[in-house]
Amino acid sequence: EVIIEARRIGKDYGNVTALADVSTTVRAGEVTCVLGDNGAGKSTFIKVLSGVHRHDHGELVVDGEPVVFDGPRAALERGIATVHQDLAMVPLMPIWRNFFLGSELTRGRGPLRRLDVARMRAITRAELLRMGIDLRDVDQPVGTLSGGERQSVAIARAVHFGARVLILDEPTAALGVKQAGVVLRYIVGARERGLGVVFITHNPHHAHPVGDRFLLLNRGRSLGDFARGEVDRAE
Ligand code: ADP
Ligand code: ADP
C-alpha cells in the first residue's frame, strides 16, 4: 500500500536549487532510505515531506491525492511524523512525561491532567516494551537514557500517537555501533508493525540491512530510486 509518492519534487531557496526532480515512494511496511552526503538535499526533502517547507516543483501525493501541506501539523494529521535528531524531549523530565508531551502538540488529545499519572506511566511502559525496551522505572529523567534508548522512546511515542509514516532524521548518526544497532532494530520493528519508514542517513552501512527502497541524493539531484534487488540492474 503506497502512502506517499514524491513525484519530481523541486525546492529552491532563493536562487539556490536545493532539490530538483526527486522522486520516491513510501509504502506501509517498508523502509525507504534517503542517502546522501552533506548538502545532498536530505534535510530539504524531509522538510517537504513533513510540511515544514512547500515544494516549488513536482507533486506530493498522499493516499492517492496531491497535497500541499501548509505546515507540519497538516502532515501530522495525515499520520506523517518526524523524529528529529534533537528529539524534542526535555532531558530533566521523566520518561513518561516526555512520552505524553507530544500528545498536546500533535494529536490534540487534551491536556496532560486528563489522564491520570499511573495510567500514563503504564502506557509508556507498555509501548516501550512493544519496542523491546524493558524499563521498569519510567520516572527516571530522559537524560539518563542512552542515545539509542532515547531514539526508541521518540519512535514509540510517534507510533502511539497515530503515526503511519515515521520520518527518521539521521537517527543513527550520533551513535556508536552498538547503539546504532539498537535503533536499526526499532526501525525493523516499526516496519513489522506496518508503518512506512523514511530513514535519512549518510551511512550506506546503516541503510543496507534495513532498506526496502533506496533514494540516492547528490547535490540536490537523484542518482537513483531503487527497490531492494533492483540496484543490480542500475546503470
Ligand atoms: P543535507 O540535509 O543533505 O545536508 P540540505 O537539504 O540541508 O542537505 O541542503 C541542500 C542544499 O540546500 C545545500 O546546498 C544547502 O546549503 C542549501 N540550503 C539548505 N537550507 C537552506 C536555506 N534555508 N537557505 C539557503 N540554502 C539552503
Ligand atoms: P542538517 O545538518 O540537519 O542538514 P544544517 O546544519 O545543514 O542541518 O542546517 C541547519 C538549518 O540551516 C536548516 O534549517 C537548514 O535549512 C538551514 N541551512 C542550511 N544550509 C543553509 C544555507 N546555505 N543558507 C541558509 N540556511 C541554511
**CB of residue 13 inside a 6 A radius of ligand 1:** yes
pLDDT tens by residue, 108-124: 455 545 677 888 899 89
Q: How far is the CA of 234 from the centre of ligand 1 (A)?
A: 27
- Note whether 213 and 201 are within 8 A (CB): no
Closest atom, ligand 1, to C-alpha of 43: 2
Distance 74 CA to ligand 1 centre (A): 23
164, three cell numbers: 503511519
CA dist., res. 14 & res. 161, Å (int):
36
- For residue 175, report the phi and psi dihedrals to the nearest 5 degrees: -110, 155
Edge-first strand listing for the sheet containing 221-227 = 65-66, 57-62, 2-13, 16-27, 221-227, 213-218, 31-35, 196-201, 165-169, 80-83
Q: Which of 71, 36, 8 is nearest to 204 (CA)?
A: 36
Phi-psi region of 52 (alpha: psi -120 to 50; beta: other; left: phi over 0): alpha
The pLDDT tens digits for 58-87 are 999 999 999 999 998 899 889 999 887 766
Separation of CA 194 and ligand 1 centre (Å):
31
CA distances from 73 to 59, 79, 107 (A): 19, 10, 9
Least confident segment among 4-13, 18-27, 93-102: 93-102
How far is residue 119 from each of residues 32, 123, 126, 139, measured CA to CA in Å? 35, 6, 10, 13
Give buried/exposed letters for 124-156 (b at 16+ CB in 10 A, else e).
Answer: bbebbeebebebeebeeebeebebbbbbbbbbb
CA-closest residue to ligand 1 atom 7: 43
Q: Identify residue 175 by its one-letter amino acid code.
A: L
The SS3 of residue 150 is: helix
Residue 189 reports pLDDT greater than 80: yes
Q: Which atom of ligand 1 is nearest to the CA of 16?
A: 26
Torsion angle of the four alpha carbons 199, 201, 207, 210, in this order, in degrees rounded to the nearest 10: -30
Which of the listed residues 9, 12, 13, 53 should we mutate to test ligand 1's pocket, taking the one with most ligand atoms within 8 A of CB?
A: 13
What is the ipTM for the molecules in this complex?
A: 0.74
Atom 23 in ligand 1: which residue has the minimum CA distance? 13
pTM confidence score:
0.85
